[in-house]
Structure 1
Amino acid sequence: MNIQEDILKKANEWLTPTFDAQTQQTIQNMITSNPKELEESFYKNLEFGTGGMRGIMGVGTNRINKYTLGKNTQGIANYMKQVFPNEELKVAIAYDCRHNSDTLAQVVADVFSANGIKVFLFSEMRPTPELSFALKYLHCHAGIVLTASHNPPEYNGYKVYWQDGGQLVPPQDAEIIQVIEALNYNEIHFNANKNLIEYIDKDIDNAFWKSTVENASFNTPAQAKQNLKIVYTSLHGTSIKAIPNVLQLAGYTDLNIVKEQEVPNGDFPTVKSPNPEEPEALTMALNLANQINADLVIGTDPDSDRLGVAVRDTNNKLILLNGNQTMVIMTAYLLEQWKQAGKINGKQFIGSTIVSTPMMLELASAYNVECKVGLTGFKWIAKFIKDFPDLKFIGGGEESFGFMVGDAVRDKDAVAATLLICEIAAQAKASGSSLYKELLNLYVDYGFYKEHLISITKKGIEGANEIKQMMIDLRQNPLTEIAGQRVVCVEDYQSSIGKDFMNNEEFAITVPKSNVLIYYLEDGSKICARPSGTEPKIKFYFSVNTSLDEVTSAPQTEELLDAKIQRIISDMKLN
């Protein structure tokens, strides 16, 4: 195939002495024998998405490597000097279990130190939430985590955190990107000042574990903790460095770890995908739980910010909860704890996202707190904490299996969320109930909400164009009826305009712009279309609901809701 002129030009720039000999040789081989791979490696620059920057590792502008990450880091160093003049600048750096995470973290540390910035670098892999905690604990100006979360093994990534412990948000994100894009690769300072790099580990670990126990414990009796039989898997990831220690510190003694998945491994050899959103990822944990008759199964993703949970239903069968269900259980519990402690006075809030269950709004209303709803990604929930200092954050989550307990960590945190779900399960079991029964009680009180997600993968340049066209079609040919229900409202987060068809009026959407489209139907159903910001996917989120008169009617009601979701999917030709 012929190589496009602009791609060849970008590739030739990487054949200069700025780049090492191995990089140049790899590119030369691509030019002569693998032009398709050359095109994929250079057709664009890696961009910051909802969860930072993620990409396949390799050479080129569209790949994760020492030069793309070095350029990011140099840009951030330059920006920090602009916005924090005359300050002793400090950053914290952590990394996960992926291939090259440790060496890429060292490159990032070297670049910061070469720019005269003090670096606190974890000596070994650590969970992402511990980086957010460490950044604040050490009074740093910024933080970096080398992780690609739950992406496949060939990926790595780069998350940037700011002074408050949360991920980059406007206006800093756009300003930093502008600085990065103005840089040339030969302006990167790679020569480390080793005197400015300090390795951190046990002291921060102990402080993080102690803080987690304080924030996510709620007076569960010791006997109840000891009676809870837990199965836990780290899915070859970093949570093994924190969760067993935190649960032990909190008093949970019956923890059963999936040994085959205990050792960190960037190949993730026992799973197709190290993503607790995927039922297959928890197969080994479920098998162990059935062998030992465990009450609860918990699995976390490689960087330990998401958790999957399985519980026993009313027939004592283990079932997987989705992210909306775990979020609702944990939020309702926190709200009740705060209410009983007399800490709710109208100046509190919970957090959620536009693609998560509307049931969060019902919970907030019942407890007289605000539910702030932002775009997908926990950086927006963390931004609410920063933007509304007069309001106290109780907790919040998103449908993609993330939850945050309080504000000690400013990102989704599977370590604290694991402890919290254990607290709820232990107390429920001690009172003759269960996590699943508690969920059904919530459905009786607030309505039975059922959610479903479809992800359609479209890889490469062609895939990106297909996803783009799907969103164009949905906008240019908007649906007026879905599965026999009228569309009563459409919200377009790209144009920041909502259309209320019942009252024939438009309204402004005040959250930042994003490539998201939401349809609302007359029966209260909600459908959201959104290209992923970190993976080559387009996602469709479905939410339906109805009333539930009594717990015993739950199975039939759930069947009706599932059937409704399938009718919507079929009508939209997504199956």
Structure 2
Amino acid sequence: MTQVDPGIIAAWIDADPDPATRDELRALDPELLAERFAAPLTFGTAGIRGPVRAGPNGMNIAVVTRTTAGIAAWLQGRCLGGSTVVVGRDTRRGSESFARAAAEVMAGACFRVVLLPRPLPTPLVAYATRKLGAAAGIQITASHNPPEDNGYKLYLDGGAQLVAPADREIEKLIAAAPGATSVPRQPVEASGDEIVTSYLHRVATLPRTPQRNIRVALTAMHGVGGETAVAALRGAGFTDIHLVREQFEPDPAFPTVRFPNPEEPGASDLLLSLAAEVEADIAVALDPDADRCAIGVPAPGGWRMLSGDETGVLLGDHVLRHTTGDRLVATTIVSSSMLGKIAAAYGARYAETLTGFKWLVRAGSGLVYAYEEAIGICADPHTVLDKDGISAAVVACDLAASLKSANSTLLDALSTLMDEHGVHITAQVSRRFASLHGIADAMARLRGAMPAEIGGEQIEVTDMLTLRGQRRTDAVVLRGRHLRIVVRPSGTEPKLKCYLEAAMDDNSPGSRAAASKLIDAGRTFAASL
């Protein structure tokens, strides 16, 4: 364990404005205390996340205060002092006090602060930042992380997530910030509902067809999206909505799910059970901060959740079918390549970016749609430059209603896309590690012994750490004729992720079997890492 200067620890404790976290640090044994000070939380995907606990590498009022002071200094250094800053929150442990601290620090630095009136979905902060022309937007949330975590998400650039080098520049200013009790704070009154009302009016315009005759089953996964999602769907004309009551009210303990993420096995079981019970046409699962949306459908063997890629290509096709002109759609290097073929069929442009919406929303001009396989969808980039589970749910229901009116289903539409563009099967294998060191070791082992063949296909390897510019990242791409595997560390969780795709030229039984065989080979390879 790295030794930490006792003076640094004492200074931090003396400057911690929260007596509970001061007492927590004083009660720790020397080894645990040193671990809390070993390294501060650093910016990952658009902000910081960590366990709610005392010390520099936890989420607490002192960390939030100094982080906000660093952001305020960065904005002032770009002649943006006095600008508007939006602050929002979810209902995780500490979120209310963290949001209040962030708002008051910004006000103390002479920014005009719009503090959203209550816990609201993350897309509302992205929307408000863009709508108000704010210099920054701050959302206190850890999205779908485990219950013990919280986080701090930052928007810049008209409502887009921050990217390098701004993140590293801000980190330096955070490190230089004074002790938390020395950071000026000014009381802030919460705003009214004007932003929420404006957002709901916008979402109501997103459906592109007149059909509304569907029954919807919905879960908010114990998060903050339920009330807003119901209002958005009803405003768009979808009124036959059935709720998973056990998961509707916000609850930071997430009592019915081990991990509050619709992608996790079992997380959507209550939703699918309700959908079957009420004979719904579509099931919608939001993650806790409602920036992600997963879709469930009735299938021959019972209800199932669509993958992020299945939902992504279905909604991408729907958007392109109902838009014209010079259009760009985008996805990431780990998502299905089918979207590119769909775009070509509509005469639209297509782009692939690194993972994350901080890159997707910067894919180029004319962006009308973007998605990533991790159930993230940007269906209205003109107003929300980030993934948005609420607007995605509205567009998905619009598509489902349109298909129902033609005696078709989402699975029928997916089959049609594969008939037109070939079978594309995607899968993900994730390994959870106790620490980041395990992930780094696994990546080092892979780079030290790159495979020449997987599943009978010769493999070409691209180590993206050797690239220059914005495409440089810690990932390895293994590509055969029909198989692609991307291996990378997660940006938000202690996981190593392997993304698999088998893409064939047609949708024949032989091609489907061959694609499944390649995916199995990819799983075997991923399990060996």
Please, what TM-score do these two structures have when normalized by structure 2?
0.95
- What residue in structure 2 maps to residue 564 of structure 1? 518
**Given the superposition, is the C-alpha separation of residues 424 and 20 from structure 1 closer, same or farther in structure 2, using an over 3 Å criterion?**
closer
Distance of 2:412 and 2:16 partners within structure 1: 62
Q: CA deviation at 1:427?
A: 0.4
Q: CA deviation at 1:186?
A: 5.2
- What residue in structure 1 maps to residue 259 of structure 2? 273
Distance of 2:219 and 2:367 partners within structure 1: 29
- What residue in structure 2 maps to residue 219 of structure 1? 209
**Given the superposition, is the C-alpha separation of residues 367 and 110 from structure 1 closer, same or farther in structure 2, using an over 3 Å criterion?**
same
Aligned partners of 2:13 and 2:22 also within 8 Å: yes
Distance of 1:21 and 1:361 partners within structure 2: 54
* Counterparts of residues 89-238 of structure 1 (less than 5 Å): 89-185=83-179, 188-192=182-186, 194=187, 197-214=188-205, 216-221=206-211, 225=212, 227-238=213-224
Q: CA deviation at 1:468?
A: 0.5
- What residue in structure 2 maps to residue 48 of structure 1? 43
Structure 2 unaligned regions, length at least 5: none
Aligned partners of 2:147 and 2:252 also within 8 Å: yes
- 1:368 aligns to 2:347 (yes or no): yes
Q: CA deviation at 1:51?
A: 4.1
Tell me which amino acid in the other structure corresponds to 1:474.
L
Q: 2:489 aligns with which of 512, 531, 548?
A: 531
Q: CA deviation at 1:139?
A: 2.2
Distance of 1:360 and 1:116 partners within structure 2: 45
* Counterparts of residues 247-326 of structure 1 (less than 5 Å): 247-313=233-299, 315=300, 317-326=302-311
- 1:494 aligns to 2:461 (yes or no): no
**Given the superposition, is the C-alpha separation of residues 89 and 549 from structure 1 closer, same or farther in structure 2, using an over 3 Å criterion?**
closer
Aligned partners of 2:376 and 2:388 also within 8 Å: yes
- What residue in structure 1 maps to residue 336 of structure 2? 357
**Given the superposition, is the C-alpha separation of residues 145 and 568 from structure 1 closer, same or farther in structure 2, using an over 3 Å criterion?**
same
Q: CA deviation at 1:454?
A: 1.2
SS in 2 for 1:144: strand
Distance of 1:468 and 1:13 partners within structure 2: 33
SS in 1 for 2:190: strand
**Given the superposition, is the C-alpha separation of residues 231 and 13 from structure 1 closer, same or farther in structure 2, using an over 3 Å criterion?**
same
1:351-400 CA-partner distances (Å, limit 9, x unpaired):
1111111112212222222222111111111223xxx4xx3111010000
Distance of 1:16 and 1:88 partners within structure 2: 30
- What residue in structure 2 maps to residue 336 of structure 1? 321
Q: 2:470 aligns with which of 508, 511, 529?
A: 511
Q: CA deviation at 1:558?
A: 4.5
**Given the superposition, is the C-alpha separation of residues 395 and 571 from structure 1 closer, same or farther in structure 2, using an over 3 Å criterion?**
closer
- 1:481 aligns to 2:453 (yes or no): yes
Tell me which amino acid in the other structure corresponds to 2:501.
S
1:108-139 CA-partner distances (Å, limit 9, x unpaired):
11111111111111121001111111112222
- 1:246 aligns to 2:232 (yes or no): yes
Distance of 1:49 and 1:38 partners within structure 2: 24
**Given the superposition, is the C-alpha separation of residues 318 and 7 from structure 1 closer, same or farther in structure 2, using an over 3 Å criterion?**
farther
Q: CA deviation at 1:259?
A: 0.9
- What residue in structure 1 maps to residue 26 of structure 2? 28
**Given the superposition, is the C-alpha separation of residues 105 and 458 from structure 1 closer, same or farther in structure 2, using an over 3 Å criterion?**
same
1:157-212 CA-partner distances (Å, limit 9, x unpaired):
000001411111234223222322232425852432x2xx3422421111001111
Tell me which amino acid in the other structure corresponds to 1:304.
A
Distance of 1:263 and 1:25 partners within structure 2: 32
SS in 2 for 1:539: strand
- 1:76 aligns to 2:57 (yes or no): no
1:400-439 CA-partner distances (Å, limit 9, x unpaired):
0000013210110001000000000000011011011000
**Given the superposition, is the C-alpha separation of residues 296 and 7 from structure 1 closer, same or farther in structure 2, using an over 3 Å criterion?**
farther
Distance of 1:17 and 1:69 partners within structure 2: 13
Tell me which amino acid in the other structure corresponds to 1:377.
G
Aligned partners of 2:219 and 2:284 also within 8 Å: yes
- 1:430 aligns to 2:417 (yes or no): no
Distance of 2:249 and 2:354 partners within structure 1: 35
* Counterparts of residues 349-498 of structure 1 (less than 5 Å): 349-384=328-363, 388=364, 391-407=365-381, 408-459=383-434, 463-488=435-460, 490-496=461-467
Q: CA deviation at 1:517?
A: 1.0
Aligned partners of 1:107 and 1:190 also within 8 Å: no
Tell me which amino acid in the other structure corresponds to 2:473.
S
Which moves more between the two structures, 128-137 or 509-518? 509-518
Tell me the matched-pair count.
528
Aligned partners of 1:209 and 1:246 also within 8 Å: yes
Distance of 1:92 and 1:186 partners within structure 2: 21
Q: CA deviation at 1:42?
A: 2.3
Distance of 2:29 and 2:243 partners within structure 1: 48
Which moves more between the two structures, 12-21 or 94-103? 12-21
Aligned partners of 2:329 and 2:349 also within 8 Å: yes
Aligned partners of 1:327 and 1:399 also within 8 Å: yes
Distance of 1:257 and 1:447 partners within structure 2: 36
Tell me which amino acid in the other structure corresponds to 1:317.
G
**Given the superposition, is the C-alpha separation of residues 136 and 289 from structure 1 closer, same or farther in structure 2, using an over 3 Å criterion?**
same
Tell me which amino acid in the other structure corresponds to 1:482.
I
**Given the superposition, is the C-alpha separation of residues 566 and 13 from structure 1 closer, same or farther in structure 2, using an over 3 Å criterion?**
farther
Q: CA deviation at 1:19?
A: 5.3
Distance of 1:170 and 1:54 partners within structure 2: 17
SS in 2 for 1:511: helix
SS in 2 for 1:290: helix
- What residue in structure 2 maps to residue 505 of structure 1? none
Backbone CA RMSD of aligned residues: 2.0
Aligned partners of 1:239 and 1:304 also within 8 Å: yes
Tell me which amino acid in the other structure corresponds to 2:436.
A
Q: CA deviation at 1:106?
A: 0.3
Please, what TM-score do these two structures have when normalized by structure 1?
0.88
1:14-57 CA-partner distances (Å, limit 9, x unpaired):
2335555443332222125xx2x334422211111124211111
Tell me which amino acid in the other structure corresponds to 1:294.
A
Distance of 2:21 and 2:230 partners within structure 1: 41
Q: Percent identity?
A: 29
Distance of 1:219 and 1:424 partners within structure 2: 8
